Amino acid sequence: MPPQPVVVQYYASPPRTSGLAIASMVLGIVWIYWIGSILAIIFGHIAISQTRKDPNLRGRGMAIAGVVLGYVGLAIFGIGVLALAASW
């Protein structure tokens, strides 16, 4: 009986999701006063940069959503501060 050939299979590692993208989106949704919005913007921009550089890293859409929600949260906070200042 002849020896059987050895079959080696290689699997590509599954793409992983950026933790900063997840954090950005969560902080953008929650936006704990203004600090959550600022952190969402910072984390989102870092995550967008990381996903652009690493093709195996997912989460670009979540990072963009976090950045947009962070800017919206800051805008709402700014409007609230201006309204409060105008009412004095």
Q: What is residue 3's predicted lDDT score, i.e. its pLDDT?
A: 77
Whether the Cβ atoms of residue 40 and residue 67 lie closer than 8 Å to each other = yes
Count of Cβ atoms closer than 10 Å to residue 68 Cβ: 16
Q: Please, which residues have CB within 8 angstroms of residue 58's CB and are 6 or more apart in sequence?
A: 15, 16, 17, 18, 21, 51
Sorted by where each begins, the domain ranges of the chain are 17-86
Count of Cβ atoms closer than 10 Å to residue 23 Cβ: 20
pLDDT, tens digit, for every residue of 3-62?
788 888 877 778 899 999 999 999 999 977 789 999 999 999 999 999 999 988 999 999
Q: What is residue 47's predicted lDDT score, i.e. its pLDDT?
A: 97
Q: What is residue 14's predicted lDDT score, i.e. its pLDDT?
A: 82
